[in-house]
Structure 1
Amino acid sequence: MNNNTSLIWNIVLTVAVIVLFFLHFSGSKPGTFTGSDSTSVAGRRIVYVQVDSLLKNYDYFEDTRKSLENKRYQLENDLTTRGRSLENEIAFFQQRAQTMTLDQARSTEAQLTKKQQDLIAYRDRSAQSLAQEEAEKNQELYESIQSYIKKYNRENNYEYVLGYSTGGGILFADSTLNITQKMIEGLNSEYKAKNEKSAASTKDTTKKK
């Protein structure tokens, strides 16, 4: 489960960001803007962001990845503990089965079967809940980057912000058009401010109590 969910998480995030960065700001006017981190190609102002580098250095992504990995680890340990406990009960029942009456054996077997079914249901609910949380975090990541790109573009008026990644559709990109570091710094600054505001709010609430 750990490898599969991690793989899904990485694939979904990469695809989401690649799609996100390929934005066309049709409201801008070609050829009327200046700037050192973009260029005009046939009247178009274009820059790009290295997707892999952005995800690697965006603190929100890293914090979320660690949090989800910790929850997966805790769930696996919990399921392992519950499973071993049930195995011990089954082994104990098998040892005592011959000394039980038929009704006692049937009753105990039914109880163990119910526990096994409950454990499977718990596993499925927990996995579904974790998958839902991952999907929500994917959406939050997408929205935070999308929001910042729109804010960043109000001051720069790019027509295209391309997502450049290894193995992607862009085979070459001029490094002078790379705004990855600026995006990382801006996103991390907003994320830090959000966390500080949340911490201050929590502190105030605790004081009032």
Structure 2
Amino acid sequence: MKNLSLALNAVLVVAVAVLYYLHFKGDSSASSGSSAAVTADGRAIVYVNADSLLNNYDFFKDTQKAFEQKGTQLDVELNQKGGAIQREIQIFQQRAGGMLAAEAQAKQLELQKKASDFENYRQKAANDLSVERADQTEKLYDNIFEYIKKYNNDNKYQYVLGYQKGGGILFADSKLDITQKMIEGLNKEYKATQPKTEEKKEEKK
């Protein structure tokens, strides 16, 4: 979680530069519906609490839950396959003394191959899960970054800072906090992309 928050802050720092560019490219006047923002040298500044945003963003919560389930399922599968190979090895060790040399050697090679194949499978499965997690994390940041740009079309902020305890910003006035608005907007967009299971249930009733 901490690593994701730090990375999110990095994304928000990049967003600052984009918003700065967008402000001077477009109309410099703020919309009448803009949230209150303190200015520094005439520049509108607000911030987003990175930890709160992640903890309350439904996309992040759903993907975290999905990866926890996949990780658990993978652990169970690997334990079962690894345990089966281990049992075969134990049985072989018990019976090896009564086997012909050629037979014992063939069985040993077979078990070595099974163990090697299992290790390759374990590494590939773990790597595939890691790659999938990285892809979803990138999508998470893309969602946030794109929403910040859309949100700023109306508000014309020049700086959207990422704040978290222990981060580079030591203090942030709560009047500048737009975290809740960001959460509500992001969740609304995410919900619109999900299958409307509740409506289908109502139709069946």
- Provide the TM-score with structure 1 as the length reference: 0.86
| Paired position in structure 2 for 1:171 | 170
CA distance in 1, matches of 2:141, 2:132: 14
| Matched AA of 1:110 | L
Superposition pairs for residues 39-54 of structure 1, below 5 Å?
39-54=38-53
Superposition pairs for residues 1-209 of structure 1, below 5 Å?
10-22=1-13, 23-24=16-17, 25-26=19-20, 27-28=22-23, 32-33=29-30, 35-196=34-195
Q: How many residues align?
A: 191
Instruction: Give the deviation of 1:14 after TM superposition.
Output: 1.6
Instruction: Give the deviation of 1:31 after TM superposition.
Output: 7.8
Instruction: Give the deviation of 1:11 after TM superposition.
Output: 4.3
Percentage of pairs with the same residue: 46
| Matched AA of 1:42 | D
User: Given that residues 12 and 138 in structure 1 are in contact (C-alpha distance below 8 angstroms), is that contact kept between their aligned partners in structure 2?
Assistant: no
Q: Structure 2, unaligned stretches of length 5 or more?
A: 201-205
| Matched AA of 2:151 | Y
User: Given that residues 31 and 40 in structure 1 are in contact (C-alpha distance below 8 angstroms), is that contact kept between their aligned partners in structure 2?
Assistant: no
**Which stretch of the first structure deviates more once superposed, 35-44 or 120-129?**
35-44
CA distance in 2, matches of 1:171, 1:31: 29
Instruction: Give the deviation of 1:37 after TM superposition.
Output: 2.8
CA distance in 2, matches of 1:31, 1:126: 51
**Which stretch of the first structure deviates more once superposed, 17-26 or 176-185?**
17-26
SS of the residue corresponding to residue 124 of structure 2 reads helix
| Matched AA of 1:14 | S
CA deviation profile, 1:131-168 (whole Å, cap 9, x unmatched): 10011011100100001000000010000000000100
CA distance in 2, matches of 1:31, 1:125: 52
| Matched AA of 1:19 | A
Root mean square deviation, CA, Å: 1.9
CA deviation profile, 1:147-199 (whole Å, cap 9, x unmatched): 100000001000000000010010111101100000000000000001137x7
- Provide the TM-score with structure 2 as the length reference: 0.87
CA distance in 1, matches of 2:6, 2:142: 14
Instruction: Give the deviation of 1:83 after TM superposition.
Output: 1.1
CA distance in 1, matches of 2:42, 2:73: 54
